[in-house]
Amino acid sequence: MSNDFRTCPDTGFKIHLPADKLIKWNAVTAIVFLLIGGIFGLLVALTRWPAVHILPPDLFYLALTAHGLDVLLVWVIFFEIALLYFTSAVLLNARLVGPKLGWLAYVLMLGGALMTNVAVLRGDSSVMFTSYVPMQAAPDFYLGIILFAVGALIGCGLFFATIIVAKKERTYEGSIPLVTFGALTAAIIAVFTILAGAAILVPTLFWSMGLIAHIDTLMYKVVWWAMGHSSQQINVAAHIAVWYAIAAILFGAKPLSEKVSRFAFLLYILFLQLASAHHLLVEPGLSSEYKIFNTSYALYLAVLASMIHGLTVPGAVEAAQRKKGFNKGLFEWLRKAPWGNPVFSGFAMSVVFFGFLGGISGVMMGTEQLNIIIHNTIYVPGHFHATVVTGTTLAFMALSYWLVPTLWQKELFLPGIAKWQPYLFGIGMALVSTFMMGAGTLGVPRRHWDISFADAAMGFDFPAAAYLMMGLNGISAIVAALGAMIFIINMVGTLLLGKDKVPAAAAPEEPVAPAAPPASAATSYGSAGTMEVPGTFVLALIFLVSFILYYFVNWKYLASVWGLS
């Protein structure tokens, strides 16, 4: 049994070889689908740039469906399965329970993803990823997603089994480390997500096969969003776990208070999924009590949790940096951080953009009254590209810069360009978000092939500023897509062409991930033992002021939309 393990020379992790292999394959498959999905995303953005308008309408909706599917579902979830294996088996020094089932999960997910992609590319299933009934796709579209979900559910099961068996086999002491706890939160939300998905997609599959006559559209939306929204909350929990992991790996940072952070994850488990109702805010047929309970009272507790993480993650970094002597003024700890290391720069931008762009806009649009200002406009994709792209995707990229060379024991293929990649992708994508939100505020609809309404019976003239925003969005999308391509080339290149790692100290060039301090901060339970993080508190104040201002500006704007006098 013991020869099933190897010890990682960089981190001292005891790595279970079957887990190692599964992590690699899931992560690489994820990255390949990011490539496919990213290309579709670029095509969509170039179509929505009125002066370019690259795809005809049928291909536009095909590409939009493929984009949503390949990035939101396939890229993110394959990577998360890799993360679940990593945070359980590797961080707990344990064996992964049931590696054979892990391969079954992998095959189901890959097969399902391919099946759905084929259905979409055939052109008869351009229903977009929400696949709202009564729009109907071919049966294999739904079946592929169902197989994919079954695979993911097996992966979650292995995660639970691994942490329970690890406890029995005493591979760790006391409570699981915070990073693993964050992954546990993600896995719990994932189980709910997948069960809800089965509850809605299985009947829809039967309906598309002609076995069921009718599916109520509103019921579909309620149950579909239990999956659609919650799947985004898997991402939030997972990328916050990644934030804590990166803080631990780069700085040896321990959370300011393990208890407070774990409590914040508990708030996610309890409340985050209820916010699914924010997708139904304009549906007639559901009461205001239902909408407001689920999107306000409950959601704000989850928002509180996010703000706790937003405070304690940079706080942990600040505490660790100050301990190392970066004590001058409020921000020396931040100025002297390794900005040229893609692990750090990706992480830092992920925290900032997720909070400022994604978080603030999300609370605004989740407010029942304000939602109507932007409902179904391109503001919505603007918001979620901030959360799921600059938040989740960028955090996953940052972690990959550490994980891939470490697990493979390879030098990064293009270390020089890797320093720039997070900035290209992160800033490009932040601009995409901002311009989409700007255009959405001017009323530009989402999922719309032609905002000039060239041959429509009833036209509408958007202001010139809306066209400008959509053009700037297209340009930013090119920058972001370039950033994504560089990441993918670098990762796949590292795998195929990367040189074997020379023992850490002998490397001539400044290594991209500095010889990791003992990774113990990621693998153990415990707090930093200090609350003296003045810089972080100043940043938090700036955040709160921006938040409040933006929120109230939108109430003011609402008043002008409805013209109360």
Give whole-number Cα distances, 98 to 1, 160, 165, 170, in Å: 14, 11, 11, 18
Query: What is the C-alpha to C-alpha distance for residues 392 and 398, in angstroms, rounded to an integer?
Result: 10
Give whole-number Cα distances, 72 to 41, 494, 524, in Å: 11, 25, 31
Burial degree of 457 (CB within 10 A; 0-12, 13-18, 19+): exposed
Q: Between residues 14 and 229, which has the closer beta carbon with respect to Cu ion?
A: 229
160 binds other proteins (CB under 8 A): yes
Q: Between residues 227 and 246, which has the closer beta carbon with respect to Cu ion?
A: 227
> What residues line the site for ligand HEM (CB under 6 A)?
38, 41-42, 44-45, 48, 64, 67-68, 71-72, 75-76, 128-129, 378, 381, 385, 388-389, 393, 432, 446-447, 477, 480-481, 484
| Residue 128 binds which of Cu ion, other proteins, ligand HEM, none (CB < 5-8 A, kind-dependent) | ligand HEM
3-state helix, strand, coil in the chain (%, to 5): 70, 0, 25
The residues that bridge with 5 in the sheet, in sequence order, are 16
> With contact defined as beta carbons under 8 Å apart, do 483 and 421 qualify?
yes
Q: Between residues 326 and 396, which has the closer beta carbon with respect to ligand HEM?
A: 396
Q: Between residues 209 and 266, which has the closer beta carbon with respect to other proteins?
A: 266
Site for other proteins in 33-62 (CB under 8 A): none
- Indicate the length of the chain as a whole number: 565
User: What's the farthest any 2 CA atoms get from each other in the chain?
Assistant: 77
Q: Between residues 229 and 385, which has the closer beta carbon with respect to Cu ion?
A: 229
Stretch that binds Cu ion, among 60-68, 228-236, 304-312, 369-377 (CB under 5 A): 228-236
Query: What is the C-alpha to C-alpha distance for residues 109 and 77, in angstroms, rounded to an integer?
Result: 9
Chain centre to alpha carbon of residue 513:
22
Site mask for other proteins (CB under 8 A), range 195-224, x = bound:
xx--x----------------x-xx--xx-
Look up residue 190 and give its two tokens.
Answer: 């994932």
Report in angstroms how near the CB of residue 245 gets to ligand HEM at its nearest.
Answer: 19
Look up residue 328 and give its two tokens.
Answer: 């001058």
Query: What is the C-alpha to C-alpha distance for residues 388 and 201, in angstroms, rounded to an integer?
Result: 23
| Residue 263 binds which of Cu ion, ligand HEM, other proteins, none (CB < 5-8 A, kind-dependent) | other proteins
> With contact defined as beta carbons under 8 Å apart, do 212 and 178 qualify?
no
229 binds Cu ion (CB under 5 A): yes
Report in angstroms how near the CB of residue 17 gets to ligand HEM at its nearest.
Answer: 30
Stretch that binds other proteins, among 47-55, 131-139, 170-178, 241-249 (CB under 8 A): 170-178
Look up residue 53 and give its two tokens.
Answer: 């308008």
User: Binder to other proteins among 248, 274, 364, 442 (CB under 8 A)?
Assistant: 274
> With contact defined as beta carbons under 8 Å apart, do 473 and 432 qualify?
yes
Report in angstroms how near the CB of residue 142 gets to ligand HEM at its nearest.
Answer: 16
Site for other proteins in 499-528 (CB under 8 A): 520, 524-528
- Give the pairing type, strands 5-7 and 14-16: antiparallel
Site mask for Cu ion (CB under 5 A), range 92-111, x = bound:
--------------------
Residues in the site for Cu ion, rule: CB under 5 A? 229
Residues in the site for other proteins, rule: CB under 8 A? 160, 163-164, 173-176, 181, 184-185, 187-189, 191-192, 195-196, 199, 216, 218-219, 222-223, 226, 230, 259, 262-263, 266, 269-271, 273-274, 276-277, 280, 285-287, 290, 293-294, 298, 520, 524-529
